[in-house]
Amino acid sequence: MQNISEIVAAKGGVVTMDEITDRAEYKRILRAVERGELIRLRQGVYAVPIAILNTMIDVERIVPQGVLCLYSAWAYYQLTTTVPPSFCIAIEAKRKVKLPIRLPINLYYWKAGNLEFGIVDVEVSNYQVRMTDLERSVCDAVKYRNKIGLDLCAEIIRTYLRKKERNLSRLMDYAERLRVTKILNNYLEIAIE
């Protein structure tokens, strides 16, 4: 009989209760969680630990309607050489989400209006995830500059300006919506000089 963690790994490293065919398989999963072979991400969602550590996680299964942002988006767009310390996921401000203990996730609580623009669907490690787009990611760096550090913010802007696919009009539109236009203009003036 095949090990249950091998079965889960063969299914992409994450399995939901909807994919479980019978009660015996469910009990095998629970025993694997007790032994530490699988991690319970949230109710009804289990994963192989190595699948979480080595690749992208299926954000939609763990935090439904979550949006990858900040460090995760900067790494995806190669805006910085900084390795993301955890998965950065934005959710609506008053929403409550229970996260798995062993999973490195930082939640960012945004106003509902800020989750309505600059969000795209991308495929990362064979998972469809929602993520801030390139320009929104740059504006978020400006918005969070005091938390992430001014050097990192400047690096992200410099790298963005070197990209061929940049869209400065969209960048300025997002900056206006996030109320960071003046600060972004200051960074752009310094970067262009």
- For 125, the 3-state DSSP assignment is coil
Residues 41 and 63 grouped into a single domain: no
pLDDT reported for residue 58: 64
**Same domain assignment for residues 35 and 104:** no
Please tell me which residue, 24 or 145, carries the higher pLDDT value.
145
Same domain as 169, residue 107: yes
In the chain, the DSSP E strands lie at: 14-16, 39-42, 45-47, 67-68, 87-92, 105-110, 119-124, 127-132
What's the pLDDT score for residue 1? 60
Give the span between the Cα atoms of 176 and 173, in whole angstroms: 5
Residues 101 and 16 in one domain: no
Longest CA span, the chain: 66
Q: How far apart are CA 165 and CA 132, in angstroms?
A: 15
Q: Are residues 117 and 79 in the same domain?
A: yes
Task: Out of 32, 54, 76, pick the residue that ends a domain.
Answer: 54
Does this model's pTM top 0.75? no
Q: Three-class SS of residue 101?
A: coil
Q: What is the pLDDT of residues 71-104, one digit of tens each?
A: 989 988 889 877 777 889 999 998 888 876 667 7
**H or E element in which residue 142 lies:** helix 134-143
The pLDDT assigned to 50 comes to 57
Is residue 79 a contact partner of residue 93, using CB atoms and an 8 Å limit?
A: no
In this structure, the answer to whether residues 48 and 82 fall within a common structural domain is no
Number of domains the chain is built from: 2
> 109 with 183, same domain?
yes
Q: How confident is the model at residue 51 (pLDDT cuts 50, 70, 90)?
A: low
Average pLDDT over residues 106-112: 93
Distance CA 173, CA 189 (A): 17
Q: 46 is in which domain, residue-wise?
A: 4-54
Same domain, 37 and 80: no
Say whether pLDDT at 56 is over 70.
Answer: no
> Which of 35, 54, 73 delimits the end of a domain?
54
**Residue-level pLDDT at 53:** 47
Taking Cα atoms as reference points, which of 58, 42, 46 lies closest to residue 98? 42
Q: Which pLDDT band holds residue 42 (cuts at 50, 70, 90)?
A: low
Residues 79 and 42 in one domain: no
pLDDT digits (tens, 9 = 90+) for 57-68: 667 777 888 999
Residues 50 and 65 in one domain: no
Under DSSP, the state recorded for 113 is G
